[in-house]
A and B are shown apart, each in its own frame.
Chain A
Amino acid sequence: MPRRTMIEAIRDAMDVSMARDERVIVYGEDVGFFGGVFRCTAGLQAKYGKSRCFDAPINESGIVGSAIGMAAYGLKPCVEIQFADYMYPAYDQLTQEAARLRYRSNGDFTCPIVVRMPAGGGIFGGQTHSQSPEALFTHVSGLKTVVPSNPHDAKGLLIAAIEDPDPVIFLEPKRLYNGPFDGHHDRPVTPWSKHELGEVADGHYTVPLGKAAIRRAGSALTVLAYGTMVYVAQAAVEETGIDAEIIDLRTLLPLDLDAIVASVKKTGRCVVVHEATLTSGFGAELSALVQENCFYHLEAPVARVAGWDTPYPHAQEWEYFPGPARVGRALLETMGA
């Protein structure tokens, strides 16, 4: 099976979708001729023409607003916001328009759009190239939110998102584009070409939205993670020697609550990890759900490891980022509680 980086897998998902369905349109800032600042759309304009893959003005609300109009017409736009940190001008269009068009028109108009955006830190991007705004989307009724953690899933989830009849926010952990970064910033990262999840089949396949994956089976504790933190959690588990079960949520909404509950009821302990700031983060929702659904099985309080509640700093990136040492401490504390 061919091995692909996450960038190549994401590009392949759009390529496969554009070949199968001429309604699929791809555009965004630097997306056309150049192929995107992360190269995710490289070659698509040459292959499918300027009507189906093109450059957009630097105007995120315009990109998403026009995509909503295109979807209302009957196309299936898959647009790129260059960094998740730039999505705020489009937040009105996403939350007030895309999210509610089906509901408010009782299905007279629908909004099958995908909004891709690189998210997360670990690249010395500072405040404006490192954010993880997933909770700002999961809090909104009518949006689906996806965060892949590897090339195989990224392709299958993106094809599923493009084929979905409703708006999907597709957050791409940019630190994972070239390899499974585990938080050890002082060590080289294994490239996807040497990782089994870098195996990406040719052609069409989907990974269904709303289904989590167990990345490591274990019996002592459950770690709930997504995106880059899946690998940070794996490193922490290896370094602490705790027999933890690591669940990669893959889709935050709809959430695979059944997988979470089954695991926590088995292990009796749960640690929630994410890069985003702690307060009102998606981890708060996960923690509450575990408490509501698994209370009588819990042997320790649900712990959260997250980004500190500060803006994402530049020089202090590795003191901010919830790396394996912080996650490992939380695992040990939860085991000792």
Chain B
Amino acid sequence: MTDAGMLRFHVPEPEVRPGGTPDFSNVPIPEAGSVPRPEIDVDPRTIRDMAFSIIRVLNRDGEAVGPWAGLLTDEELLEGLRHMMTLRSFDARMQMAQRQGKTSFYMQHLGEEAVACAFRKALMPGDMNFPTYRQAGLLIADGYPMVTMMNQIYSNEADPLKGRQLPIMYSSKEHGFFSISGNLATQYIQAVGWAMASAISNDSKIAAAWIGDGSTAESDFHSALVFASTYKAPVILNVVNNQWAISTFQGIARGGSGTFAARGLGFGIPALRVDGNDYLAVHAVAKWAAERARQNLGPTLIEYVTYRAGAHSSSDDPSAYRPKTESDAWPLGDPVMRLKNHLILRGVWSDERHAQAEAEILETVITAQKEAESNGTLHAGGKPSTREMFEGVFAEMPPHLRRQRQQAGV
């Protein structure tokens, strides 16, 4: 018994603040290939330690090692690399377009490209993602047209959402991408409901819920885990831990729990942590969870350990709350470079081909951008009509909206 008599209030702090030396020694990184790969029907109680480790496939030399390796062909890996490079190039151009005043807002994926790009390849047509604002890789990896994404970002006359949504809040049922809300965590329980509906309908489709480390503190996250656990819903519960929720370090949401994956344990949900910057590891773990869901084995919680190398959004400046060089010190490296090095080691890629691919991709993105800009940008050129503003609130416009539309003179 110590300190009797006076209570002290505890507020967690990150290891380092601006001006300090980046330090990730508190993030233990297991050897690649060291975490076993259980059967999909494993008793969740026997794999609780997986919620505290990190599944990794690519080692420091770029080799794919261990029981989670070997699922993807050269062609599939080359395609994966191209998706990540495309997303990075797309982000850079759109970030610049925002700075040029062509749209109001943008959110990039720098450093996190592997998570959504690799995950998408573990799903089947008809499966449904309930994404956050940092999973555009799901669309890129599924072949959704970049021009359409840009039209949405510009809120121009070809915007499929008619100018009603903030930039990057895409929606595409066809590509298994649920309408992004913009409010945090609400989609997590909706994904579970979608999965419940698929099971109720004796369908074969599964759902994937997405959330960031910070938003796991929302009650909707816990609602989702209760419902997923109770009804054994065919859903993959993804937590992207990129270390930062705007300026708030992940310890504020995580609290006394060792990891975000560990949140699943109390619900009896198998919980895995994976190296989020390792395309092969992300894909292998997602595939394992998808198989479980499809076999009526219920939900799986996956924590992707990654790092948000860029700002939270175009409105954010990370140098105010973390060391500028922190992303260089991140121990899991850069997902694009790691897959590139692996493909070079496999003998199917080279620095020259990489540089050439980079140039080709940039050209493709610029071509798409020109086409999108021919439909207008936020403050110039074609835009959705004012009449559109009144449409689609309900399937059929009720009298009061009809009157207001008349008052607006449209």
A residues within 8 Å of B by Cβ?
A: 25, 51-52, 56-57, 59, 61-62, 65-70, 72-75, 89, 92-93, 96-97, 101-110, 141-142, 144, 165-166, 210, 253-255, 257-258
| With A62-B227, A210-B398: A106-B190 Cβ-Cβ less than 8 Å | no
Whether B392 and A106, one on each chain, are in contact in the complex, defined by CB atoms closer than 8 angstroms, is yes
The docked-state distance in angstroms from the alpha carbon of A207 to that of B197 is 28
Is A93 within 8 A of B186, CB to CB? yes
Q: Which residues of chain B come closer than 8 Å to A109, judged between CB atoms?
A: 171, 173, 178-179
Question: Does B201 reach chain A (CB closer than 8 Å)?
Answer: yes
Q: Choose one: B192, B393, B399; the contact of A66 (CB below 8 Å).
A: B192
A61 contact from B181, B195, B220, B393, Cβ within 8 A = B220
* Further pairs besides A59-B223, A75-B201, A106-B171: 20, Cβ < 8 Å: A25-B200, A62-B189, A69-B189, A69-B195, A70-B194, A73-B193, A73-B197, A73-B198, A74-B201, A93-B186, A103-B164, A103-B392, A106-B164, A141-B393, A144-B394, A210-B398, A253-B400, A254-B400, A255-B400, A257-B400
B56 CB, nearest partner CB in chain A, Å: 32
Most chain B beta-carbon contacts within 10 A, residue among A59, A89, A93, A255: A59
A69: chain B residues within 8 A (beta carbon): 130, 189-197, 207
Closest CB pairs A-B (n = 6): A69-B193, A66-B193, A65-B189, A62-B223, A73-B197, A254-B398
CB<8 Å pairs between A and B, sample of 12 = A61-B219, A62-B220, A65-B190, A65-B193, A92-B186, A97-B183, A101-B179, A102-B394, A104-B171, A142-B394, A166-B395, A253-B400
- Tell me the minimal C-beta distance from A163 to chain B in angstroms: 11
Provide the bound-state CA to CA distance between A109 and B171, in Å. 8
Chain B residues within an 8 Å CB radius of A57: 226-227, 230
Asked if B324 lies at the interface with its beta carbon under 8 angstroms from chain A, I say: no
**Chain B residues within 8 Å of chain A by Cβ, number:** 44
Residue numbers in B under 8 Å from A74 (CB-CB): 197, 201
- State how many angstroms separate the Cβ of B170 from the closest Cβ of chain A: 9
Min CB distance, B126 to chain A, in Å?
11
B188-215 contact mask (Cβ, 8 Å, vs A): 1 or 0: 1111111111101100000100000000
Q: Which residues of B contact A89 (CB under 8 A)?
A: 219
Task: Report the separation of the CA atoms of residues A61 and B183 in the bound assembly, to the nearest whole angstrom.
Answer: 14
- Say yes or no: B193 contacts A67, CB within 8 Å: yes
Q: How far is the CB of A313 from chain B (nearest CB, A)?
A: 29
Q: Complex Cα distance A73/B219, Å?
A: 23
User: Once the chains are docked, how many angstroms separate the CA of A106 from the CA of B226?
Assistant: 31
Chain B residues with Cβ under 8 A from A258's Cβ?
399
The A/B interface has a contact count, at CB < 8 Å, of 140
What A residues does B395 contact at CB under 8 A?
102, 110, 165-166
Distance, CA A103 to CA B181, complexed state (A): 11
B247 proximity list for chain A (CB < 8 A): none
Across-interface contacts of A254 in B (CB, < 8 A): 398-400
B171 touches A108 (CB 8 A): yes
Using CB atoms, name the residue of chain A closest to B186: A97
Is there contact, CB below 8 Å, between B194 and A72? Answer: yes
Query: Which of A69, A109, A210 gathers most chain B CB within 10 Å?
Result: A69
Q: Does B286 contact A (CB under 8 A)?
A: no
- Chain B residues with CB below 8 A from A56, complex form: 227
Contacts A72-B178, A107-B392, A108-B171; A65 near B399 (Cβ below 8 A) = no
Greatest chain A CB density within 10 A among B172, B200, B230 is at B200
Q: Which of B210-237 contact A (CB under 8 A)?
A: 219-220, 223-224, 226-227, 230
Which of chain B's residues have a CB closer than 8 A to the CB of A97? 181, 183, 186, 190
B197 touches A75 (CB 8 A): yes
B310 within 8 A of A: no
Residues of A within 8 A of B392 (CB): 102-103, 106-107
Q: Which of B173, B197, B220 contacts A65 (CB 8 A)?
A: B220
Bound CA–CA A88/B392 (angstroms) = 26
Which residues of B are found within 8 Å of A142, using beta-carbon distances?
A: 393-394
Question: What residues of chain A lie closer than 8 Å to B188, measured between beta carbons?
Answer: 65
Residues on A with beta carbons closer than 8 Å to the beta carbon of B34? none
A328 → B minimal CB distance (Å): 32
CB distance from A99 to the nearest CB of B (A): 9
Closest to B395 in A: A165
CB neighbors of A among B333-391 (8 A): none
Instruction: Return chain A residues, CB-CB under 8 Å to B230.
Output: 57
Which residue of B is nearest A69, CB measured? B193
Whether B171 pairs with A70 at a CB distance below 8 angstroms is no
Q: Which residues of A contact B197 (CB under 8 A)?
A: 25, 69-70, 73-75
Query: A65-B190, A69-B130, A255-B400 are known contacts. Are A106 and B162 too (CB-CB below 8 A)?
Result: yes
B239 neighbours in A (Cβ, 8 Å) = none
Report the bound CA distance from A105 to B226 in whole Å.
28
- Residues of chain A within 8 A (CB-CB) of B164 are 103-104, 106
Known A-B contacts A69-B190, A166-B395, A257-B400; the reply to A108 vs B172 at CB < 8 A is yes
Whether A105 and B193, one on each chain, are in contact in the complex, defined by CB atoms closer than 8 angstroms, is no
CB distance from A306 to the nearest CB of B (A): 22
A210 contact set on B, CB distance < 8 A: 398-399
CA distance A69 to B189 in the complex (A): 8
